[in-house]
Amino acid sequence: MQNPKIAKVAVPGPFLFPLDYLLDAEQDLLTTDCATEIKAVVGGRVWVPFRNKKVIGMVMEISESADYELSKIKPIEEVIDIEPLFDATQLGLLNWASQYYHEPIGDVMLAALPKRLRAGENAEISGMQYWQLSAEGRSKTLEDISRRALKQRRVFAQFLDQKLKSESDLNAELENWRSAVKTFTEKGWLETAHGPCLRESNYAPAPNHTLNDAQKSAVDAVLESQQIQKRFQAFLLEGITGSGKTEVYLGMIESMLKQGKQVLVLVPEIGLTPQMVSRFEAFLQTRVAALHSNLNDSERHCAWHLIRTGQIQVLLGTRSAVFTPFKNLGLCIIDEEHDLSYKQQEGFRYSARDLMVQRAYREQIPVVLGSATPSLETLHNAKTGRYTHLHLKQRAGVAKLPSLKLLDIRGEKIQEGVSRPLKTAMTQHLQAGGQALLFLNRRGFSPVLMCHDCGWQAACPSCDANMTFHMISGQNADGTVAGYLQCHHCDEQMAKPHSCPSCASEEFVNVGQGTERLEETIKEWFPDKKVLRIDRDTTRLKGSMAELTGIAQRGEADILIGTQMLAKGHHFPNVTLVGLLDIDQGLFSADFRAAERMAQLILQVSGRAGRAEKAGEVLIQTHHPDHPLLTTLIQQGYDAFATKALQERQDALLPPFKYQILIRAEATHPNDGMLFLESLKAGLQNYWQQWQEAKMVEADIDFWGPVSAPMLRRQGRYRYQLMLQSLNRGDLHRLISEMQPHIYNSPLSRKVRWSIDVDPQEM
Ligand code: ADP
Ligand code: ZN
Ligand code: ZN
């Protein structure tokens, strides 16, 4: 008898390899009506039985040999896709990701699919829901809406062009539009309509820039590699802020489109995607698809479908877009490659940047990593010749880099976090008609609420952390401001206590300063200026980030106050002064990456100044004006800083000179995580010892810990970690691969939540 065919199916669950299912159970694979055989395909989804349930899986391979006892292998229940969603190269990437990140293949597969496809819906999608003016609505004008109903007028104005509007169209233009849309729908002025995924669109006129020489040679370098060699090559495009990196990407993309190729552009999660999409569409005069967190499920599905079928050629997406299947991918670009949002910090802890490079390698196409402040990992790759290093050293157009100055605030009189010289500079710049931007990376009113009489501090009941006091939006019945406490680690919220739980005093003091408090102070100091705060609270409260940055961009606010949300990517042409209030903690953190992050943040925030005709000035308050890393950064620039920081990493044998894998464990019982990691460490060391003896080699793996996490208790769980470090990446991965099945089977592991973090970015 011929061997039956076996489908190797990736199913969700703790399995590092696909499971076996029978392919040729004809009764299941024949459709009864038309009797044509529907076959499972490699790269397509199937429903399979699993522990009395039916689950979705992805066929990774079809083979004649089984890894499991043949008589026990169950047949596939139902075939979903008759055409592959992922081709062999893309499946190869998913397999690689599963092995490299030690993540079960089924979970990798799920992460690679849009939510609707994870639920078994058809890959094809005919369209999605839109709103449009009804016949009645078309007879109305703005005059028919009360002058006082501002929001309704703004929303209605969006529809006057008589086009279909999707949720993300409205999100891109408006905040809190839903209630107005609901009102108009109830009135019969708006109606919902099913429209195609791909609509025609009006593009803004293309800007009339000619690339400068540096931009042109960067574009040419990448295109040449692609034309002559048609193979993988990685480029680091290091261009100072405002040097026109985006135009370089666009130049490359334009040429790719002419060749009929598609392009994947990854962008950080900073709410800038809608603006980027418009900018790309204007330049390229073609539709660009977007995948980011502000889309609903059908919008995501549509974008995914349009890219997979090649109806749209350019995809702009955040982290998980790296998995999107393309019909004819020709180029990968990662903007702001140093950005932390590319690293998934929970569940499947992948780095989208690293996966993108791996993907380009597998597809044999070029990949471009762009940044003004490249990560030390990427710089190291450029310095050692693995990546080709391209530079843009001048700002584009007439703009000049701002001057950076350290403000020594030792002994200075500081009022509410702002030193006198900074205040003076603000006055001057505002008088000259410029905007000022103040950067403080702490939202809320104050990080600590303390009892004035006994020193009690409001701590989070579930974390080893203080709760941040928020003033805004808490109001007592009598109209006085109440405020609330929020833990920024677990999001738990509670009302501000009326009196101290420890001594019953009613007098509290706010220790330290957050953006809310700064806003209050600045409004007092500059009563006739318009102050705009941009942080997670205001962008959540007031709706879309796009609207607030629009106000900032058009110069409708004089003073901008913000956290790192405001630091990245934005183009505020009229900002001439940037003040950084509190950056010192980056100099003395236990995390070896803190200095790198601080330098990146300083330069990114500084990069918001002087982006147009007017020159910019950046003032950095510090208590450590002589700190060598800081002075190197300010006086000699990022490259000098990075060289120094890389040297320190090399001396200390830290990444990128060594490879790391961090194993975390947490549990509600204080000791379980520690016990688990101790036993794991013993197992790992024991295995490693035997391996070395058997191979008669002496390999290098360091074990650090287990130790408690920097914040031991978080969300009621006690957290510990064990670090493994080696000069040899292969050794490290071999060790983990060998041990992983034992971890799944260990009784201790059931008491804890554990995870493996390869190339961890946060401790
Ligand atoms: P980056 O991404 O490097 O910070 P952008 O690509 O956003 O810089 O460019 C900064 C500004 O300079 C933008 O307003 C852009 O339109 C403008 N710009 C870029 N390249 C040119 C050029 N060659 N000529 C004139 N203006 C340019
Ligand atoms: Zn007290
Ligand atoms: Zn908490």
- Predicted confidence at residue 5, as pLDDT, reads 86
Taking the CA of 604 as reference, the closest ligand is 1
Neighbours of ion ligand 3 (CB under 5 A): 460, 462-463, 487, 489-490
Going from the Cα of 284 to the center of ligand 2, the distance in angstroms, rounded, reads 63
Which is the closest atom of ligand 1 to the Cα of 241?
4
CB contact set of 293 (below 8 Å; sequence gap of 6+): 269, 318
- Predicted confidence at residue 743, as pLDDT, reads 85
Taking the CA of 238 as reference, the closest ligand is 1
Taken in order 251, 254, 259, 260, the sign of the CA dihedral is positive
Going from the Cα of 451 to the center of ligand 2, the distance in angstroms, rounded, reads 5
Taking the CA of 505 as reference, the closest ligand is 2
Pocket test for ligand 1, best of 211, 247, 250 (most atoms within 8 A of CB): 247
Going from the Cα of 635 to the center of ligand 2, the distance in angstroms, rounded, reads 47
Which is the closest atom of ligand 1 to the Cα of 209?
24
- Enclosing H/E stretch for 139: none
User: For 608, which DSSP code?
Assistant: T
Q: Is 336 in the pocket of ligand 1 (CB under 6 A)?
A: no
CA 359/CA 97 separation, integer angstroms: 10
Minimum CA distance residue for ligand 1 atom 9: 244
Q: Is 455 in the pocket of ligand 1 (CB under 6 A)?
A: no
CA 660/CA 133 separation, integer angstroms: 57
**Would the annotation count 487 as a binding residue?**
yes
Minimum CA distance residue for ligand 1 atom 21: 396
In terms of Cα–Cα distance, which of 593, 607, 616, 612 is closest to 637? Answer: 607
Residue 506, both tokens: 């009613």
**Would the annotation count 332 as a binding residue?**
no
Q: How far is CA 644 from the centre of its chain?
A: 28
In single-letter form, the type of residue at position 405 comes to: K
Give me the residues paired with residue 6 across strands: 22, 63
Residue 187, both tokens: 């009135």
Q: Is 396 in the pocket of ligand 1 (CB under 6 A)?
A: yes
**Would the annotation count 503 as a binding residue?**
yes
Minimum CA distance residue for ligand 1 atom 20: 244
**Would the annotation count 197 as a binding residue?**
no
Give the phi and the psi of residue 286 in degrees, each rounded to 5.
-150, 160
Q: Is 215 in the pocket of ligand 1 (CB under 6 A)?
A: yes
In terms of Cα–Cα distance, which of 555, 582, 553, 583 is closest to 566? Answer: 553
> Is 752 within 8 Å of 676 (Cβ atoms)?
yes
- Predicted confidence at residue 614, as pLDDT, reads 81
Pocket test for ligand 1, best of 246, 278, 393, 401 (most atoms within 8 A of CB): 246
Going from the Cα of 464 to the center of ligand 3, the distance in angstroms, rounded, reads 7
Give me the average pLDDT of each 10-residue run along the chain (763 residues).
Answer: 82 91 62 56 95 94 87 91 95 96 95 94 88 88 85 86 82 79 90 84 82 94 82 95 93 95 93 83 93 88 95 96 96 96 94 98 96 97 96 86 90 87 95 94 94 96 96 60 88 92 94 93 95 87 70 91 85 91 85 92 89 86 92 93 95 95 95 94 91 84 94 96 94 90 84 95 85
CA 11/CA 108 separation, integer angstroms: 10
Q: Is 763 in the pocket of ligand 1 (CB under 6 A)?
A: no
Which is the closest atom of ligand 1 to the Cα of 215?
23
Contacts of range 693-702, beta carbons closer than 8 Å, 24 or more positions apart = 699/726, 699/728, 699/731, 700/726, 700/727, 700/728, 700/731, 701/725, 701/726, 701/731, 701/732, 701/735, 702/726
Taking the CA of 395 as reference, the closest ligand is 1
Q: How far is CA 761 from the centre of its chain?
A: 13
Minimum CA distance residue for ligand 1 atom 26: 397
- Predicted confidence at residue 507, as pLDDT, reads 94
Beta strands, E only, 91-162 = 128-133
Q: Is 241 in the pocket of ligand 1 (CB under 6 A)?
A: yes
Going from the Cα of 509 to the center of ligand 2, the distance in angstroms, rounded, reads 11
Taking the CA of 208 as reference, the closest ligand is 1
Residue 305, both tokens: 């479908």
Neighbours of ion ligand 2 (CB under 5 A): 451, 453-454, 456, 500, 502-503, 505
CA 732/CA 153 separation, integer angstroms: 61
CA 477/CA 744 separation, integer angstroms: 54
Minimum CA distance residue for ligand 1 atom 15: 244
Which is the closest atom of ligand 1 to the Cα of 246?
6
